[in-house]
Structure 1
Amino acid sequence: MSRTAQANITTGWMFLERVMMGTVTSVPCCIFFFINVTMLFTLRSKAVFRESSRYILLYNLLVADTMQMALSQLMYLLAVCRTRLSYPVCGLLIMLANFTNEISPLTLVVMSLERYVAVCQPLRHATIITITNTALAIIVVWAISSLNVLVRVLLLLDFPFENLDTLQMKDFCGTLVLFLGPMSDDYDKAYTCFVFVSATVVITCTYIGVMVAARSASTDKASARKARNTLLLHLVQLGLSLLSTIHNSVIGAISKIVTRPILLIILNTLYVFLIMLPRCLSSLIYGLRDKTIRPVFLYHLCCGLRLKAEVSP
């Protein structure tokens, strides 16, 4: 067989591999994206959702998760297609991904505190958890995430870009590519550790507080049980978010001990379950568990077929 024929076969296999990798991840991504967009539309479709702090916080969480999902899939497809970006463009995508990624655990903390107040301070809930205070909490969450991005940008400025022959990247765009110095890497690890440890402590404390309150005779047992289950789910979501941050490290370690075909299967599987699925989990949890959201969510999810919304406008 001639070298030209061998080259054509190799090129064909590489193209087929890229198409398969793109399809395997794009299909579930489109499904998850549709679910999230449907939930976002649901949360804006009724006044009962627009005027409730709990659902406003959920809306904020889903906005961040949906943006993160779209950015992750875009960067994944760029990597699969071997598209090389310039450092500024890649940096912009990475900073947007980091920005949206940090909003999720911080929002989960605020949502857990809201559930804690609802169960442990029911008489003061309407006074503490107001629309104004909720909006202020969301602004603080976005401000902290913005500050984190600003610090990362400042750390990048210390890198001697003038020593580069070109701003065109030699590899595909990824988070690890922009750890251009030990300081950036150390800051990323320290910030991630601080956020997730703090979030875990807060959610765990609220869970313990709800459990203690549930034993009180004056506490609504059903409400306390639902709040406890919700806080447990928040811990699960937090754990999945943490796993998504170490996705690249896990892939790097696995790549040293398995063959390429097996690595591709593992890579796609971990990507779908650690990156994509957690971003859709909130929609599924609230869309199926919450009795107020469920009929409206299913109505829109099924495009209005055979289902009738039970929540008045």
Structure 2
Amino acid sequence: MYPADKLCSQRHKPDFYSGFMSNATQSQINITVGRGLLERGMLFTVSTLPCFLFLFINGTMLFTLRSKSVFCETSRYILLYNLLFADTVLMALSQLMYILAAFRIRLTYPVCGVLVMLINLTNEISPLTLVVMSLERYVAVCYPLRHATIITIRNTRMAICVVWTFSLLNILVQVLLLLNFAFEDLQSLQMTDHCSAIAMILGPISNLYSMAYTYFVFILASLAITSSYIGVMVAARSASTDKASAQKVCKTLLLHLVQLGLSLSSTIHNPMLIAISKVLNRLLLVRIQIVVYLCIIIFPRCLSALIYGIRDQTIRPLFICHLCCQLKLSVITAKAEVSP
């Protein structure tokens, strides 16, 4: 080999080696990105499908509660409809927030504030409605002769109005605390992170009020449901009470306590994730976040429909019938769209 050929070979060798390493690095990056997108898609599917399933179940139950006049004229079913309506709206809004975060869509502070306030409103309806439902069951067992005069349709609607008014007043206080924040000091109203309840706590006073209100509602609801349970247990031992009915009401009140604990456990969702994020990497944190999201946010909102849809003898036949009919209709529609 001539000296010129050696020199040419030495010149082109580094270029070939660097090009090979560049291609290898690019391929590795593409594989990593592909795996990340695949995993993100799988996690998104795992979290979204259960939510849509529960929304379908809740929607079927809401339709069932409006299909017969007996459901519209009975206090316990009116209260159940109010509970399911709030839980369904909360589930839909929570899933919307999750989708926005998954696709990294950033909102402005006013838009995020409206979504967070709606979520807080519907989230507070559930424990207060459970309190009213527990008191209604207590009156039904302990004062059966006066139940028809105390628990009337008018009084039930008034109780629902009080629940919504109380929750709206809390939202109004949160808005007033939020307005004290100096938004004019921000360079832009565009959020730097995804929309969440934590992102809208813009001051220590707002955080303190949110915690105090949560503790107040939790203690109030726990005392009310526990007192109703003890009252029903005492009444069940008396000879004048239908023991089978009293035992069934006791089980319902225990389920209400479980529902209360699950619905209020959503308040620890964000603080728990903040604590976990300090010791875990981002990928593991996302996986844990999805599990916690399904167990604390989504599943409790479908519990009421499952409890009453399966246990209640009046609702169960219609609920199963409507559920099966809608599933068959969905399958037929899907087949019709696939076929040419």
Aligned residue for 1:199? 221
Alignment partner, residue 183 of structure 1: 205
Q: Which amino acid aligns with 1:276?
A: I
Q: Distance in 2 between matches of 1:156 and 1:87?
A: 11
Task: After TM superposition, give the deviation of residue 248 of structure 1 in Å.
Answer: 1.1
Q: Which amino acid aligns with 1:237?
A: Q
Equivalent residues of 1:18, 1:81 under 8 A apart: no
Alignment-derived partner of residue 246 in structure 2 = 224
RMSD value over aligned CA atoms? 1.5
SS at match of 1:175: coil
Is the alpha carbon distance of 1:113 and 1:162 closer, same or farther for their aligned partners in structure 2, counting shifts above 3 Å?
Answer: same
Task: State the 1:243 CA deviation.
Answer: 1.2
**Contact 1:84 1:173 survives alignment (8 Å):** yes
Q: Is 1:242 matched with 2:264? A: yes
- 1:144 maps to what in 2? 166
Matched, 1:299 2:321: yes
Alpha-carbon distance, 1:21 to partner = 2.3
Q: How does 1:15-34 map to 2 (within 5 A)?
A: 15-34=37-56
Deviation at 1:11, TM superposition (A): 4.0
Residue 155 of structure 1 aligns with which residue?
177
1:76 to 98, 107, 110: 98
**Contact preservation (8 Å) 1:21, 1:80:** no
Q: Could you tell me how far 1:115 is from its partner in structure 2? A: 0.1
Structure 1: 5+ residue runs without aligned partners?
307-313
CA distance in 1, matches of 2:74, 2:114: 34
In structure 2, what is the equivalent of residue 51 of structure 1?
73
- The structural deviation recorded for 1:244 is 1.2
Determine the structure 2 residue equivalent to 1:88.
110
Q: What is the CA-CA distance between 1:73 and the residue it aligns to?
A: 0.5
Contact kept, 8 Å, 1:214 with 1:225, in 2: the verdict is yes
Q: Name whichever of 13-22 and 32-41 sits farther off.
A: 13-22
Determine which structure has more spread, i.e. the larger CA radius of gyration. 2
C-alpha distance in 2, partners of 1:187/1:202?
22
Asked if residue 289 in structure 1 is aligned to residue 311 in structure 2, the reply is yes
Looking at structure 1, the residues matched to 36 and 175 of structure 2 have their Cα atoms a distance apart, in angstroms, of 36
Higher mean displacement: 111-120 or 245-254: 245-254
1:39 aligns with 2:87: no
Q: Within 2, Cα distance between the matches of 1:4 and 1:93?
A: 41
**Inter-partner Cα distance in structure 1 for 2:180 and 2:247:** 51
Q: Match of 1:246, as an amino acid? A: I
Distance in 2, matches of 1:196 and 1:45, equals 34
Tell me, what secondary structure is at the counterpart of 1:74?
Answer: helix
Q: Find the partner of 1:211 among 200, 214, 233.
A: 233
Partners in 1 of 2:291 and 2:273 — Cα distance? 11
The corresponding residue for 1:102 is: 124
User: Residue type of the partner of 1:244?
Assistant: S
Q: Distance in 1 between the 2:169 and 2:311 partners? A: 35
TM-score normalised by the chain length of structure 1: 0.94
SS of alignment partner, residue 325 of structure 2: coil
Listed one character per residue, the Cα deviations across residues 28-69 of structure 1 (whole Å, up to 9, x for unaligned) are: 001100000000000000111111000000000000000000
Q: Distance in 1 between matches of 2:256 and 2:75?
A: 17
Partners of 1:261 and 1:248 in 2: CA distance: 17
Q: Does 1:233 align with 2:258?
A: no
Secondary structure of 1:238's counterpart equals helix
For the residues of structure 1 that align with 2:59 and 2:34, how far apart are their CA atoms? Answer: 36
Residue 257 of structure 1, aligned match among 259, 273, 279: 279
Change over 3 Å in CA distance of 1:271–1:305 after alignment to 2:
closer
User: Cα offset for 1:216?
Assistant: 0.8
The answer to whether the 8 Å contact 1:38/1:297 transfers is yes
SS in 1 for 2:193: coil
The TM-score normalised by the length of structure 2 is 0.87
- How far apart in 2 are the matches of 1:305 and 1:177? 39
**Greater RCO, CA 8 A, separation 6+:** 1
1:111-130 Cα offsets, whole Å, 9 max, x none, are: 00000000000000000000
